[in-house]
Amino acid sequence: MKLSEYLTLAEVIRSDSAKRLGIDNMPGAVEIESLKAIGINVYDKIRTHFRCPIYVSSGYRSKRLNRALNGSATLSQHCKGEALDLDQDGSPHGVTNKEVFDYIKQNINFDQLIWEMGTDSNPDWVHVSYKKVGNRKQVLRAMKLKGSTVYVPF
């Protein structure tokens, strides 16, 4: 099923963890509508700009899957179909995670944009979320501090 011009449902529900744990990771109708919105308003714009595949490392996560991964089943925008993690590491197309992050920050309406771990020059991946209403344009950096993940303003 196509969610938008360039994004498919198969891409956003793919999860090795769900397969390994035997967890159904199929979204409901409400979540599919949210996935369509982030596909059209965020993903397709990135894909069109860079004119190459943009890799989704994590998209929709069922509440059960997110709990199994020690995430919040009530707060995570991944569980609502509102978030994508994008990762260009290893891409043969020459587009970096930093370039994706910078493009989103400067050109796209979003709720949350997170520079996930990595170095000062390139994040390990980019988290972006989008809500149909009330996007905050919050930009954060995730890093490890004493073994815990902390989020600080970018």
Residue 3 lies in a domain: no
Residue 120 lies in a domain: yes
Distance between CA atoms of residues 52 and 18, nearest Å: 28
Token couple for 70: 């020690």
Residue 14 lies in a domain: yes
Residue 2 lies in a domain: no
Angle at 1 between CA 102 and CA 111, to 5 degrees: 30
Q: What is the secondary structure of 61-130 as a DSSP string?
A: --HHHHHHTT--TTT-TTTTT-EEEE--TT-TT---HHHHHHHHHHH---SEEEEESS-SS--SEEEEE-
3-state secondary structure of 38: helix
Burial (CB count within 10 angstroms: exposed 0-12, middle 13-18, buried 19+), residue 129? buried
Residue 4 lies in a domain: no
What CATH number is attached to the domain comprising 136?
Answer: 3.30.1380.10
Average pLDDT by consecutive 10-residue portion of the chain (154 residues)? Answer: 98 95 96 98 98 96 90 82 96 94 98 97 98 97 92 95
pLDDT in the model for residue 70: 80
pLDDT in the model for residue 53: 96
pLDDT in the model for residue 52: 96
Q: Are strands 112-116 and 138-145 parallel, antiparallel or unpaired?
A: parallel
Residue 1 lies in a domain: no
Residue 39 lies in a domain: yes
3-state secondary structure of 152: strand
pLDDT in the model for residue 73: 59
3-state secondary structure of 138: strand
Distance between CA atoms of residues 102 and 115, nearest Å: 10
Tens digit of each residue's pLDDT (9 = 90 or more) over 99-133: 999 999 999 999 999 999 999 999 999 999 999 99
Residue 36 lies in a domain: yes
Can you give the residue range of the structural domain that contains 56?
9-153
pLDDT in the model for residue 74: 67
Name which of 71, 81, 62 is nearest 23 in CA terms.
62
pLDDT in the model for residue 25: 96
Q: How many domains does the chain have?
A: 1
pLDDT in the model for residue 71: 74
Half-sphere exposure of 79 (CA within 13 A, CB side): 15
